[in-house]
Amino acid sequence: MFKFLMKGILRDKSRTLYPLITISMGVMLIVFMWCWANGAMSGMVDKTASLDLGHMKIVTRAYEEIIDQKPYDLCLTDVDELLVELKQKYPGIKFKPRTNFGGLLDVPDENGQTKAQGDFIGIAMNLLNDPDEIETFSLKDAMVMGHLPKKSDEILISNVIFEKFELKLNDTVSIITSTMYGSMSIRNYKVAGTVRFGVKALDRGAVLIDNSAIADLLDMENASSEIFCFLPEMEYSRRDAEKIKTSFNAEFTDVDNEFSPYMRTMNDDATMGYMMKMTNTSIMFMNFGLMIMVAIVLWNSGLLNNIRRYGEMGVRLAMGESKGHIYRSIVKESILIGILGSVIGTLLGLAISLYLQYHPVDISHYMNNSSIMMGNEYAAKIDGISLFIGFIPGVLASILGSMLAGRGIYKRQTAQLFKEMEK
Amino acid sequence: MENIVQIKNMIKRYPAGSGEFTALKDINLTIGKGEFTGFVGPSGSGKTTLLNIIGTLDRQSEGDVQVMGTDVLKLTHKQSARLRSEKIGFIFQSYNLLPVYTVYENVEFPLLLLNIPESKRKEMVLKALEWVGLTDKIKSKPHQLSGGECQRVAIARAIVKRPLLVVADEPTANLDAENSHHILKTMVELNRELKTTFIFSTHDQKVINYLERKISLIDGRITKDEIKEG
Ligand SMILES: Nc1ncnc2c1ncn2[C@@H]1O[C@H](COP(=O)(O)OP(=O)(O)OP(=O)(O)O)[C@@H](O)[C@H]1O
Ligand SMILES: [Mg+2]
């Protein structure tokens, strides 16, 4: 009997091909969307981690409370000693001290008079002797012109400011800011190069400076407002991050000392945590929605198909096959078609995703004004889940469609089914 | 079991609009084993309805219907399916072969339902195709056959399992005279050789000439029941 049914499936193209195409397309979309969202998400996570949040970051407890204001007067101290200890305790994890500060950028003319002035976002980091940090911050990719700073008094500035202020490379600019103790501080720096990250916040007014300069500029001797932490292979895992956070805080955080170090993970960031959750939920919803859509299409095509097949059903009933047996055989057929369609759809979806994984779409045009930290390139990313994610909805939709359509057999009187074939 | 069909005071009504339509009235009928019988009457007189009830595809509204000794009202869907698969063969006006299957597979199908082993099946299918003279077409699909050939396949499919009863609803309606005579002769032979009971519905004079017993229906009533002399 099984062989008999298989022959029917293989020979009756209109019975098999249409549902197969529908399921394949649905599954393809599901797989592709998954890889796409996965790629977008991990692109965003990577970018945000490298520029803004780290996988984890260490700050003082006081700083943590108002972390959005980046209050460098509440910075970590004795940073060199802390770093030595951290490297020993957590081998494999990268620790990168960075300090955010703000102020005015002043461009003098040849007479020393102010030619242009504007505010900036300053980031102090290891620019001079830490190739690893250059990599982490994707600085090489971000460089538009000039070279990386070679000395303490050389800085990088955003290409937007550079053009707005009509600067030239090696021009001298003044930074006007306040020290961590609140007194005014003015220092001159040479523009070594310009950068563009594709992130609105940074591109509007970033100034990158080496950590060695802030002892003088901000009066931050052996201090840093944040220490970025990166997991091995730069691969974020919430579980690992939480684990390290717990052990770190148990050891280093002192509830009585608000300047004691405290570690938080990327997920502790309100926006980022929300984005991650939203993405996961919306992918689930999209998949569910697609599955229902595919099921409805299959239901309809199944109905048409079954009406076309009432003749066959009538004959089979007359020959003495029971309704239940016929119904089950329709459902079994749909399982086979569902699996086959899911395999085809998954392969197609993976093929497209694979292509886009290696040929990312350049979205820098759209991202120039984005406040979301996302890479300039948008690539799909295949993971283990993408191999399976299409199967459940693909097979379920097929079964659901055929079950709904197959109920027609039960609704009709045997003789009635039988008459419909005579027309 | 003497009688294949025994019907007493049977009535069949169909829902029609808001009321009901009585398609068969006061049917009393006995058909014995090995008969070659037909229901004859104008269109709409109830021939198909009566055949469907006898073939357990439909149920009466009132009265008693025994098919091969069983009360059809007492059968579950499954049991009536079983009765059909084991003991009743069907032949339809429009052949109703399964289009994607070959001649051989179409004839084999009733045997699959009976779980008959492959080698036995093959023997039975070939034998049935031999009776209807189609052994040279076993690999053809229905659309490659003429109407007469299709109906012969349908006959082979109906008789392959050697049922006690074959029900044939206007089997010659789509055939020309030559083909009609050919398949009727085949059925007469099967009736003689295998003692298979045949019940027809027809208004075709060619068929009527072959019948041993002619039961006339008009407006849902049996008006005449004649047995041919000789
Ligand atoms: N499912 C149904 N619902 C309502 N009325 C029906 C149904 N089936 C048949 N009838 C009616 O019952 C009557 C008998 O129909 P039946 O099909 O038995 O006629 P018939 O003698 O086989 O006619 P024909 O020679 O045209 O095939 C007809 O008047 C028909 O309209
Ligand atoms: Mg009829």
Statement to judge: residues A191 and A289 lie in one domain: no
Statement to judge: residues A12 and A93 lie in one domain: no
Statement to judge: residues A82 and A24 lie in one domain: no
Statement to judge: residues A80 and A201 lie in one domain: yes
Query: Which residues in chain B have Cβ-Cβ distances shorter than 8 Å to A12?
Result: 99-100
Model confidence band, residue B197 (pLDDT cutoffs 50, 70, 90): very high
Using the predicted structure, report yes or no on whether residue A192 has a pLDDT greater than 70: yes
CA distance A25 to chain B (A): 26
* Residue at which a domain ends, from A175, A197, A230: A230
Rg, C-alpha atoms of chain B: 17
| pLDDT, tens digit (0-9, with 9 covering 90-100), for B144-173 | 999 889 999 999 999 999 999 999 999 988
DSSP for residue A72? G
Statement to judge: residues A44 and A165 lie in one domain: no
CB pairs under 8 A between A and B: 73
Which tokens go with A250? 């148990």
Query: Cα(B168)–Cα(B201) distance, rounded to whole angstroms?
Result: 6
Query: Which residues in chain A have Cβ-Cβ distances shorter than 8 Å to B140?
Result: none
Collapsing DSSP states into helix, strand and coil, what is residue A110? coil
pLDDT at A326: 87
A245 within some domain: no
Cβ of residue A255 closer than 8 Å to a chain B Cβ: no
Q: pTM of the predicted model, to two decimals?
A: 0.70
A300 within some domain: yes
Query: Cα(A28)–Cα(A122) distance, rounded to whole angstroms?
Result: 46
CA distance B85 to chain A (A): 4
Using the predicted structure, report yes or no on whether residue A143 has a pLDDT greater than 70: yes
pLDDT at A415: 61
* Residue at which a domain ends, from A205, A230, A255: A230
Statement to judge: residues A10 and A74 lie in one domain: no
Query: Which residues in chain B have Cβ-Cβ distances shorter than 8 Å to A322?
Result: 77-78, 81-82
Best CA proximity match to A301, nearest among A34, A25, A4, A32: A25
Query: Cα(A166)–Cα(A187) distance, rounded to whole angstroms?
Result: 20
Best CA proximity match to B150, nearest among B95, B211, B198, B83: B95
Asked whether A50 and A42 are in contact (CB, 8 A), the reply is: no
A105 within some domain: yes
Statement to judge: residues A179 and A135 lie in one domain: yes
* Strand pairing category for A114-125 and A206-210: parallel
Runs of H (alpha helix) within B88-229: 103-113, 118-131, 147-159, 177-194, 205-210
| pLDDT, tens digit (0-9, with 9 covering 90-100), for A88-100 | 999 999 999 999 9
CA distance A307 to chain B (A): 15
Query: Cα(B165)–Cα(B35) distance, rounded to whole angstroms?
Result: 9
Using the predicted structure, report yes or no on whether residue A294 has a pLDDT greater than 50: yes
* Strand pairing category for B36-40 and B197-202: parallel
pLDDT at A115: 85
Q: How many domains does chain A have?
A: 2
Query: Cα(A19)–Cα(A63) distance, rounded to whole angstroms?
Result: 59
| Inter-axis angle of helices A323-358 and A391-411, nearest 10 | 150
Best CA proximity match to B86, nearest among B102, B74, B70: B70
Cβ of residue B81 closer than 8 Å to a chain A Cβ: yes
Strand order in the sheet with B221-227: B88-91, B165-169, B197-202, B36-40, B213-218, B221-227
CA nearest A324 in B: which residue?
B78
Model confidence band, residue A423 (pLDDT cutoffs 50, 70, 90): very low
Q: What percent of chain B has pLDDT over 70?
A: 99
| pLDDT, tens digit (0-9, with 9 covering 90-100), for A234-273 | 888 889 999 999 999 999 999 899 999 999 999 898 887 7
pLDDT at A306: 66
Cβ of residue A312 closer than 8 Å to a chain B Cβ: yes
Using the predicted structure, report yes or no on whether residue B214 has a pLDDT greater than 60: yes
Interface with chain B: mutation pick from A312, A317, A319, highest number of B CBs within 10 Å: A319
Burial class (CB in 10 A: 0-12, 13-18, 19+), B210: buried
Query: Cα(A345)–Cα(A231) distance, rounded to whole angstroms?
Result: 35
Residues A31-53 have a mean pLDDT of: 84
Using the predicted structure, report yes or no on whether residue A277 has a pLDDT greater than 90: no
| pLDDT, tens digit (0-9, with 9 covering 90-100), for B4-60 | 999 999 999 998 888 999 999 999 999 999 999 999 999 999 999 999 999 998 999
Using the predicted structure, report yes or no on whether residue B117 has a pLDDT greater than 90: yes
A235 within some domain: no
Buried b (16+ CB within 10 A) or exposed e, A250-289: eebbeeeeeeebbbbbbbbbeebeebbeebeeebeeebee
CA distance A346 to chain B (A): 30
Statement to judge: residues A335 and A412 lie in one domain: yes
Note whether B52 contacts A320, CB cutoff 8 Å. no
Cβ of residue A239 closer than 8 Å to a chain B Cβ: no
Collapsing DSSP states into helix, strand and coil, what is residue A49? helix
CA nearest B159 in A: which residue?
A319
A261 within some domain: no
Model confidence band, residue A305 (pLDDT cutoffs 50, 70, 90): low
Rg, C-alpha atoms of chain A: 31
Using the predicted structure, report yes or no on whether residue A367 has a pLDDT greater than 60: no
Q: B30 C-alpha to center of ligand 1: Å? A: 22
The residues facing A184 across adjacent strands are: A178
Q: What is the distance between the terminal CA atoms of chain B, rounded to a whole angstrom?
A: 25
Statement to judge: residues A88 and A169 lie in one domain: yes
A265 within some domain: no
Residues A278-289 have a mean pLDDT of: 78
Note whether B86 contacts A415, CB cutoff 8 Å. no
Q: B16 C-alpha to center of ligand 1: Å? A: 11
Note whether B100 contacts A11, CB cutoff 8 Å. yes
pLDDT at A372: 57
Q: Cα dist. A92→A130, A208, A227, A245, A252 in Å?
A: 16, 26, 15, 15, 19
User: What residue numbers bound the domain in which A335 lies?
Assistant: 2-48+273-422
CB neighbours of residue A302 within 10 Å: 27
Best CA proximity match to A271, nearest among A371, A377, A381: A371
* Helix, strand counts (H, E) of chain B: 7, 10
Q: What sign does the CA torsion over B35, B41, B43, B46 have?
A: negative
Collapsing DSSP states into helix, strand and coil, what is residue B6? strand
Note whether B90 contacts A414, CB cutoff 8 Å. no
Statement to judge: residues A111 and A176 lie in one domain: yes
Using the predicted structure, report yes or no on whether residue A307 has a pLDDT greater than 80: no
ipTM of the complex: 0.88
Statement to judge: residues A62 and A19 lie in one domain: no
* Strand pairing category for A172-178 and A206-210: unpaired
Residues A398-413 have a mean pLDDT of: 77
* Strand pairing category for A361-362 and A226-230: unpaired
A388 within some domain: yes
The set of residues, in sequence order, having a beta carbon less than 8 Å from that of B110 and lying 6+ positions away, is A319, A320, B85, B89, B157, B160, B161
A266 within some domain: no
Cβ of residue B140 closer than 8 Å to a chain A Cβ: no
Q: What is the distance between the terminal CA atoms of chain A, rounded to a whole angstrom?
A: 28
Statement to judge: residues A93 and A225 lie in one domain: yes
SS (H, E, C) B111-133: HHHCCCCHHHHHHHHHHHHHHCC
* Residue at which a domain ends, from A179, A199, A230: A230
